[in-house]
Chains A and B, each alone.
Chain A
Amino acid sequence: MAKKSYDVQVVSKLCKACGLCVHLCPKNVFDRAKDGRAVPARPEDCIGCGTCELHCPDFCVETKEKEGE
């Protein structure tokens, strides 16, 4: 079975740079930009667990399974 891949998006307009997604991600997908906001630096490592989405207080992180791959 082919490995599933996910699209990770951060709406930086809504991000308040709390760092919870960076801290809780089990696969270390996110980096922090200079201003502390989350950047999905390694989306290819994402396993789609949804932890970032569940724990983002500002509704700015979203993961979606890529289709047709």
Chain B
Amino acid sequence: MKPEYEKYFRNNLPHIWCAGCGHGIVMSAWARAVNQLGLDKDQCVAISGIGCSSRITGYIDMHTMNTTHGRALTFATGVKMARPDLNVFVFSGDGDGTAIGGNHFIHACRRNIDMTVVLMNNNIYGMTGGQFSPMTPFGKKATTCPYGSIDRSFDMAELAKGAGATFVARSDIFHAKHLTDMIVAGFNHKGFSIIEAVSSCPISYGRRNGTPDPRDMMDNIKEMCVMKAAYDKLSDEEKANKIPIGILQQIDDAPEYTSEYEKLVERVQGGAK
């Protein structure tokens, strides 16, 4: 590991993720982003829920919380409200973020509270044995849908946009440098920033869907993810199997929650403080 960002880790590697798991790549991209931003680790909080993705807080050396399933955003909201001076990172997975914590997710988007959320999308509940999640693509197999999922899947970016998130970006594990850039851009945005990191799960997802080899999953992701500018130029037929990556929405003039709260306190106390 490069000494520049080794300081952000607890020195308890190897991690529990399977061979070829994309989450390790997301963790390394995140470490590069933090190093690029030059953050003091004592001024940072990393919060996660439950799941493969949420194991990340066990490896990084900051103030960390590994909370209940789907509730990472609620704990993060509490931390940010109590200590607005801290930098809050939230790590979540597709199941943790959009199913079990789905309600918290949309309301955190709506409130526009200043934090950076990295949602690692591996299309499956990996840790609990490969159940299908709301982001498992239509027709794909999982332990709880052995004949293929008949649920239509969430597009996380559209969901976040609809819920009013002020910074929505997407990147993937093949474009790892781009992922770092997106995390840096998300951090620099004042307000709620969500970055979807398209990740891979060769064991629980790939094995059941014809790509048990992490190298094949990587090639598929490379094929599937195209930069937003290039994606916009594609015809509707070409768009069918592609997803855009890059900054998908950025609104800079929306009121931020903690600063609004501060103003409220000041107003109600009538300057008596």
Contacts and interface: CB of A to CB of B under 8 A. Distances in A.
Interface in B4-55: 13-15, 17-25, 28-29
Contacts, number: 56
Contact of B19 (A18, A23, A24, A53): A18
B139 interface: no
Given A16-B20, A54-B28, A59 B218 contact: no
Contact of B13 (A18, A24, A58): A58
Contact of A23 (B25, B29, B218): B218
A57 B20 contact: yes
Contacts of B13: 14, 58-59
Interface in B51-87: none
B218 A56 contact: no
Interface residues of A, number: 17
Contacts of B29: 54
A33 interface: no
Contact of A54 (B17, B20, B176): B176
A55 interface: yes
B52 to A, nearest CB: 12
Contacts of A56: 24-25, 28
A62 interface: yes
B2 interface: yes
B215 A23 contact: yes
